[in-house]
Structure 1
Amino acid sequence: MGQGTPDGPVERGAVAGRIPLAVVVVDAAGLVSHWSVGARRLFGWAKGEAVGRPVGDLLPVHGAIPEDHERYGAHDGLGPDLETSLDRRIAYPAAGRARLTAPGPRGDRADVLWWAYPLAGPGPERLLVLAADAAPSAGAEEGRREARAGHGGRAERVAPGFAPHTDFPGADELAGRLPEILPGMSVGDSSRIVAQVLELGYPVLEFSHHDRVPVTPDWGVARRAERKARRERAERVAAHGLPAAGPDDEGEDLEYAAVRERLEFLNEVSGRIGSSLDLSRTITEVSRAVVPRFTDVAGTYLREQVVAGEGFPEGPPDETTLWHRVAVEHTDEPGRWDDVVPVGESMPFPAHTPFFQCMTSGDPVLVPRITEEMGNAIASQFEKRDIRPLINHRSMLVVPLKARDVVLGFMILLRHRERPVFNDMDRVTGTELAARAGLVLDNARMYTYQESVADTLQDSMLPHIEPRMSGCDIATRYLPGTLLGRVGGDWFDSVKLPGSRTALVVGDVMGHGLNSAAMMGQLRTAVQTMAALDLPPEQLLRNLDDLAQRLGEHYLATCLYAVYDPIAGELRLANAGHIPPVLVRAGDGRSELLDLPTGAPIGVGGVPFESVRVRVAPGDRLLMCTDGLVEVRGEDIGVGLATLTESAAHPAASMDDACDAIIRALNAGGARKDDVALLMARLNGIPGEHVAQWRFAPDPSEVGRARELVRGQLRAWSLQELADTAELLVSELVTNVVRHSRSSRVDLRLVRSRALTCEVEDDDHMLPTLLSAGPDDESGRGLRVISALAAEWGTSRTNHGKTVWFELPLPTR
């Protein structure tokens, strides 16, 4: 074992020995329920005298069990702050050292080392205490003399501690023989206690600030197999004339075991973190991996850019860098840290704090004990919240979370006062732990960033459709694929058309990923552009097919395009290889798949498209979706279509509820893997009494008659508030046709729907343009007036000429 000095470790021979253990079990009432033979030898109380007595009368275990220090005055080194109730006991292993008056006539002072384990379970046992004499044998006393000699006569510091792993040469013996010293316990109870002890850690003796040696428990008699092995080893050494093994050999084994314990702990922690690429879950795993085995409190801070998913942070942090507190894990009573250091808070750290030193240097910072002065400096960052009771006099280790030499964050690790302070080996262990956690966090960060980019791309390409259009209500849903990537080629859209009509479209680009999403964006833009030209559905799909072939030979997509005329009560649909829509009749609630010419997918080329007219009634619902909703691998698509048709017919309180019910019905078993686009439109129609239309001759005298008719119609609809504005705008549009077009007719139509729509149509295909008129110009201001006063306006070509329209919002009653 390596011995430590103030200047660093010094290589010396190891001190090895086997230590008899006293075993005591305490129940929830604080009374001794089990008292081993070793406890009688160490503390002097017989089993009959000890069982049933308050444990505070018998043991000097500070901080782990209730104790009356005034009644137990024969030991020193114990502080006055003793626990008063087992309900307030610490929830982690504790260790300590005390000098007692040994039993017997001589009354020697005994140097007692102890380890206390909290127990949980259905039985009455609540605390297990292991204790031992620090010098139980001549061999150990000789080792202590060697230690003193190696340090110039100074006694080597000996303190108890815990090794947080169970894989050591004596683990099997501890597991096998500890139940033998728990008399009167059932096999189940003793096994439960042993399992908890091995999970929390086994006792170690700390001989210096740098080295820990595991205690191999011994109850006075070596196991038969061990005696036989030692005898055989001695015989082989003698037969070959080899020198006997010295203390250095055993020291090397113990030193190897101590290092192996750390490596196995790190390996175990590495296996527990990184099970998910979700950033928040990864942070939680990292925090819980170190509490309570390595530390009692773990606070994790990340740079604001990492939490926000803004990519890799650039440049070194400084005093203005915001650090986001993402997790606080501790063993204190619930809620103790929540109000003072709440998760989710962002804050900078000034240069005088150890946190700033860690995040700027990228090296761990070890503070053996937080002094009052340092505690005041740290507490100044928390405004009116006093954090000093939570941190003062505790041992602290700050370790950076780095990836590619960039500090992504750091962890603040704190140990309670009763626990050994962090040492140099803990610093190395914490640094290695943080390095592994930093890599896992960086992987999660990159995945989160890429997922954010994909979601942003998908959201930017999908339209934000108004829930109410002229003559219809619309609800939509988009669900990304669960396995094939969050970015896909499914889309939906709606386009406002002249004549209070609405174009409804759903498409699906074949494939997944960024290429499909990019193609989807191009096709969606093309559909919007061609729909604004008021092309017939079959002609629009024909043009879209030509465009896809010009873009590339791998551009394939299906598309369903429908135009709803709420005044005529008619749907006009064309299909390009897409699944058919579902129409739910309002009259009898019957739902049906519309029989449409299937057509070939967009991009195949050379295939004609046909359109179909379908009569609809007010209240009918049209459902359009992509095949990801109805198609399941290994199952006929007809089953999904039948389920879609049936679920669409079920009544629902709202359009959104209807969409959700359909998705639940189609994804009941969680078998959906593809992305889904769903569009539902309730076809409300526009009653004939809400439509007024007139035809005028292209004569200046007709302008005044148009104004009078508009004013009279608005009066009949009780919309007098809109009369002045509507009359002015209609006058501008009709005048513009009379003066500047070669039209033989002027058609004017007013439609009262969700807004007041006015359309002026003529047979001249030349579209008017918005001009910038000067102060001396006599014309060019008409469209600017319309642009200023109308809520919306636009122009479009038709088969017979052009239409110029504007909308005015209806007054609120």
Structure 2
Amino acid sequence: MTVDTHTNTPLAGGTGGDRRADAPSARITEWAFDQSPFAVAVHDTDLVCLRVNDRMCRMFEMTEDQIRGRRLTDALPGPQFEALARYMRQVLDTGEPVHRETYRKVPGEDLERAWSVSIAPLKDERGRTCAVWVGVLDITEQYRARQRLALVNEASTAIGSTLDITRTARELVDVALPRLADVAIVDLLDSVVGGGEPRPGPVSATVVMRRVAHGSAGGEVPSAVRLGDVDHYPESSPAVRALTGGEPVLTGSGDPAFLSSINSNPQRVEAVLEHGLHSLLTVPIRARGITLGVATFLRGRDREPFGPDDVPIAEELTARAAVCLDNARRYSRERATALALQRSLLPQRFPEQSAVEVAGRYLPASTHSGVGGDWFDVIPLSGSRVALVAGDVVGHGLYASAAMGRLRTAVRTLADLDLPPDELLTHLDDLVARFGGEGDDGEPGEQDPGLGATCVYAVYDPVSRLCCIARAGHCPPALVTPDGTVDFLDVPAGLPLGLGGLPFESVEMELPVGSTLVLYTNGLVESRDHDIDEGLQRLRRALTRTSPSLETTCEHILGSVLPERPMDDAALLVARTRVLKPDQVATWDIPTDPAAVADARRKVTEQLSAWGLGDAAFVTELVASELVTNAIRHAEGPIRLRLILDRTLTCEVSDGSETAPHLRRARAFDEGGRGLLLVAQLTQSWGTRHTAHGKTIWAEQTLLAQTPPGVLGGFGDFGDLDDLDDFDDLGDLG
């Protein structure tokens, strides 16, 4: 009978004649056991090793005699072998195989490797489990291949989550650590960091790059360059070699070029030696034919050097990051352009006026939305009044900024016509509708459904303390009274501009002196984190806090209401109302009798003398006479004359007629038509505004103004200027 010398069990067949037939089969069985790619061991039901092949012995750095006849945990103490013994006992008890994969260092290897461990029962012809078979296979290459694929897949979603250059570079570093490298560094050309356009093609000679991101799997970054600083890379360095050749550079401690490249910087040499960095892979960051910088990956003493299989993975990660970095660079450039355009279109400084004290802020979004079409404005009007405006154009970027500029110009133009707020918004609504109907070339085209805007327009009069407000789909203005009460004004919302169809409504109210009117855009109170009602309550709480100045109020509002990273741009305008003193305004009711003109001139002269403006008496008397004469001859009562002393001297005449005068130049032999032209020449500005009960014609002149030499000479001989009552049709409407 043939007996297995290892197990002392009879082999199949028991006669000498069978031995010749079984001998080749036994040898083949031995070869299969010894030459198996698996490290194989067989244990009995007491977990005593019956047989082990050479591969298993080499893996454990032990001989077969040291292992055979002993339990696994006796020969190889340690937690991992105790876990293996438990799995073997599980297989003996259940008769079911077990498969596990692990990544660890074994005694026969210098580095950690991936292992596939199979534990299977050995059963006799009756199906009884007589022993357990353990097979261990080195699957490091397959494991690394899966890890590489998983890494590339993760990079597709983890890199490029924002359009921020620094954050994108940081995402590349985070993805590479620790699966690809122990240390990862991203250096970009300085022009790229600022959103500039680097020159196409590879670079050469010494290169200056800025450190944008770096990281280490061990926490402390072994770098001689701090984040944000620039470093000079010599021509022999792997970074410049990669940029010059446009290909990855794989080098390490055994490469003389690597050693010579780090010797140029003693701090870099110290960092390499201290952390045992021995393998370096540098990949150029290039996108759309533009060189942006380099990504450098390093491995330390506990990792295998980079190999050829690591290069494609590093290239894949870097290529993904390169496209995102270039997108971020382009966005940064566009955002900077749009922001410059936006800020140039916003008020650079507020105009001088006495109606309100104002402060404003514009804050672009911190996300990829960037600059939008939010704006505010302060527009001086006639009669020392002021218009306060806030608006928001739909969209973001250059288009929204340009559209905002058009709207702001349109609002200022319409404001010059002294239109009431509701009428102004009606005209603005028509303009926005026409803007949307124009194609890119300015020709009529299909309406852009995304074009639109919201706006709130308020006019405050410091004489009467009346404020008239209308809004078109905009957030309600807030009013803070001197006692600290905060209310959102109940102004009819109206439709956003550009939709048309319905008229706008205005609300007029009297404001206490020292009230604060707050205009803002929806970016201040709306957010993905909360709805607009919560944003309005945050604004209400912020406004209840008293501040020493409006500038401080603006800063407090932005800090209290806006999130850390606003999703939309926001505009804020804060205005504290003032009132003109009673002695700054003089008002007289004028009878509808031509003889009243002389009395009106006398009253004007006396008032100017009381104000110490005798030098302005001649021009003002002439202007008042012309305007009052016009009203008496061509309009309806009641007629009122008013002088306002502010930064300018304003003369106003109000009447009950809706007809407005028009400036024209009289011909040589015309008897009338010169009066209004004379007023226009003698004053700084003039105009007409319609009221609920008629109109007001006004003329402003700078204080201490003198009649310009030769002005009167160009209008022919007016006769005796001391008796303007005798003028024939001085106020011709033409």
Q: Is the TM-score greater than 0.5?
A: yes
Counting aligned pairs with the same residue, the percent is 33
Distance 1:403 1:475, change over 3 A: same
- Structure 1 residue 306 displacement after superposition: 3.0
Shift of 1:504: 0.2
Mapped partners of 1:364, 1:646: distance in 2: 58
Give the Cα–Cα distance (whole angstroms) in 1 for the partners of residues 496 and 217 of structure 2.
62
Change (3 A) 1:301 1:228: farther
Residues 47-83 of structure 1: CA deviation (Å, up to 9, x unaligned): xxxxxxxxxxxxxxxxxxxxxxxxxxxxxxxxxxxxx
Matched, 1:625 2:646: no
Deviation at 1:427, TM superposition (A): 3.7
- Answering whether residue 684 of structure 2 is matched by residue 803 of structure 1, we say no
C-alpha deviation, 1:522, in angstroms? 1.9
Partner deviation per Cα, 1:373-406 (whole Å, 9 max, x = no partner) = 86555454x5xx6432224683322122233444
Q: 194, 201, 209: which one pairs with 1:308?
A: 194
Q: How far apart, in 1, do the equivalents of 2:231 and 2:196 lie?
A: 18
Q: Which residue is 1:561 aligned to? A: 457
Aligned partner of residue 651 in structure 1, secondary structure: coil
Deviation at 1:527, TM superposition (A): 0.4
- How do residues 60-209 of structure 1 correspond to structure 2 at under 5 angstroms? 132-133=60-61, 136=63, 177-180=80-83, 202=105
Instruction: Output the amino acid matched with 1:276.
Output: S
The letter of the residue matching 2:546 is A
Q: Distance in 2 between matches of 1:693 and 1:375?
A: 91
Which residue in the other structure is 2:269 paired with?
388
* SS of residue matched to 1:223: strand
What is the number of equivalent residue pairs in this alignment? Answer: 552
Q: Distance in 2 between matches of 1:434 and 1:679?
A: 45
1:282 aligns with 2:184: no
Structure 1 residue aligned with 2:469: 573
Correspondence for 1:297 among 173, 183, 189: 183
Q: Does 1:265 align with 2:148?
A: yes
Name the counterpart of 1:529.
Answer: 413
Report the Cα offset of residue 526 of structure 1: 0.4
Measured in 2, the distance between the counterparts of 1:531 and 1:565 equals 14
1:502 matched to 2:386? yes
Give the structure with higher Rg (CA).
2
Q: Is the 8 A contact 1:18 1:216 kept in 2?
A: no
How does 1:177-576 map onto structure 2 within 5 Å?
Answer: 177-180=80-83, 202=105, 214=113, 216=115, 223-225=119-121, 258=141, 260-268=143-151, 270-271=153-154, 273-274=158-159, 276-277=161-162, 278-310=164-196, 314-319=200-205, 322-330=208-216, 334=220, 337=223, 340-369=224-253, 375=259, 377-380=261-264, 386-391=267-272, 394-416=278-300, 420-442=304-326, 444-445=328-329, 455=339, 458-464=342-348, 466=350, 470-478=354-362, 485-486=369-370, 488-509=372-393, 518-551=402-435, 552=437, 556-576=452-472
Cα 1:405–1:498, aligned 2, differ >3 Å: closer, same or farther?
Answer: same
Deviation at 1:332, TM superposition (A): 6.7
2:251 and 2:383 map into 1 onto residues whose CA distance is: 77
Kindly provide the amino acid, as one letter, of the partner of residue 355 in structure 1.
A
In structure 1, C-alpha distance between the alignment counterparts of 2:188 and 2:565, rounded to whole Å: 37
Shift in CA distance, 421/648, structure 1 to aligned 2, threshold 3 Å: closer
What is the distance in 2 between the residues matched to 1:377 and 1:665?
A: 52
For residues 699-718 of structure 1, what are the structure 2 equivalents within 5 Å?
none
Determine the C-alpha separation between the residues in 1 that align with 2:195 and 2:662.
51
**SS of aligned partner of 1:387:** helix
Written as runs of structure 1 = structure 2, the 5 A alignment for 1:647-666 is 647=541, 650-653=544-547, 654-655=549-550, 658=553
Deviation at 1:451, TM superposition (A): 5.3
Q: Aligned in 2, Cα 1:408/1:794: closer, same or farther, shift over 3 Å?
A: farther
Q: TM (normalized to structure 2)?
A: 0.58
Residue 260 of structure 1 and its aligned partner are, at CA, apart by 5.0
Q: Which residue in 1 is equivalent to 2:574?
A: 680
The 2-side partners of 1:634 and 1:202 are apart by 48
Question: Which segments of 5 or more consecutive residues in structure 2 lack a partner in the other structure?
Answer: 1-34, 42-47, 50-56, 66-75, 87-100, 128-134, 438-446, 589-596, 630-640, 654-660, 665-682, 690-696, 705-734
Distance 1:275 1:514 in 2: 22
Q: TM-score, normalised by structure 1?
A: 0.54
Report the Cα distance in structure 1 between the residues aligned to 2:652 and 2:543, rounded to whole angstroms.
43
Partner residue in 2 for 1:584: 480
- 1:371, 1:794 → 2: CA distance? 82
Q: Residues 300 and 205 (structure 1 numbering): CA distance in 2 closer, same or farther, change over 3 Å?
A: farther
Aligned to 1:167: none
Taking a change above 3 Å as real, the CA distance of residues 335 and 556 of structure 1, as seen in their structure-2 partners, is closer
Following the alignment from structure 2 to structure 1, what is the Cα–Cα distance between the partners of residues 186 and 470? 57
1:297–1:328 Cα contact (<8 Å) kept: yes
On the 8 A contact 1:561/1:575 being kept in 2, the answer is yes
CA 693–557 in structure 1, closer or farther in 2 if over 3 Å, else same? same
Question: What is the aligned partner in structure 1 of residue 71 from structure 2?
Answer: none
Deviation at 1:301, TM superposition (A): 0.7
Find the aligned partners of 1:635 and 1:365 in 2 and give their Cα distance.
Answer: 50
Aligned equivalents of 1:645 and 1:213: distance in 2? 59
- Provide the rounded CA distance (Å) in 2 between the counterparts of 1:396 and 1:657: 53
In structure 1, the residue corresponding to 2:227 is in which secondary structure? coil
Give the letter for the 2:427 counterpart.
N
CA 710–526 in structure 1, closer or farther in 2 if over 3 Å, else same: farther
1:19/1:215 contact within 8 Å kept: no
Task: Give the letter aligned to residue 511 of structure 2.
Answer: V
Q: In the TM superposition, what whole-angstrom CA distance separates every residue of 1:498-545 from its partner, at most 9, and x where no partner exists?
A: 444321012344677766554433222100222244444344334323
After the TM superposition, which of the residue ranges 508-517 and 491-500 deviates more from structure 2? Answer: 508-517
CA shift at 1:274, angstroms? 1.8
Distance 1:422 1:228, change over 3 A: farther
- Give the C-alpha shift of residue 344 in structure 1: 0.8
Q: Distance between the aligned counterparts of 1:290 and 1:624, measured in 2?
A: 48
CA deviation after TM superposition for structure 1 residue 270, in Å:
4.2
Give 5+ residue unaligned stretches, structure 1.
1-13, 21-36, 39-111, 114-130, 139-172, 184-197, 233-249, 714-726, 752-756, 768-792, 808-813
Query: Helix, strand or coil: the match of 2:233?
Result: coil
> Is the CA contact (8 Å cut-off) linking 2:285 and 2:322 kept in structure 1?
yes
CA distance in 1, matches of 2:318, 2:63: 40
- What is the distance in 2 between the residues matched to 1:795 and 1:802? 6
SS of aligned partner of 1:282? helix
What's the Cα RMSD here? Answer: 5.9
Aligned-partner residue type, residue 572 of structure 1: C
CA contact (8 A) 1:632 1:671 kept: no
Question: Contact 1:592–1:645 (CA<8 Å) still a contact in 2?
Answer: no
Cα distance in 2 for residues equivalent to 1:215 and 1:642: 58
- Give secondary structure in 2 for the equivalent of 1:367: strand
Does the Cα contact within 8 Å between 1:324 and 1:346 map onto a contact in 2?
Answer: yes
Distance (Å, rounded) in 2 between the aligned partners of 1:413 and 1:642:
50
Show the counterpart of 2:731.
none
Q: What is the deviation of 1:561? A: 1.3
CA distance in 2, matches of 1:399, 1:484: 28
> For residue 519 of structure 2, what is the amino acid of its counterpart?
M
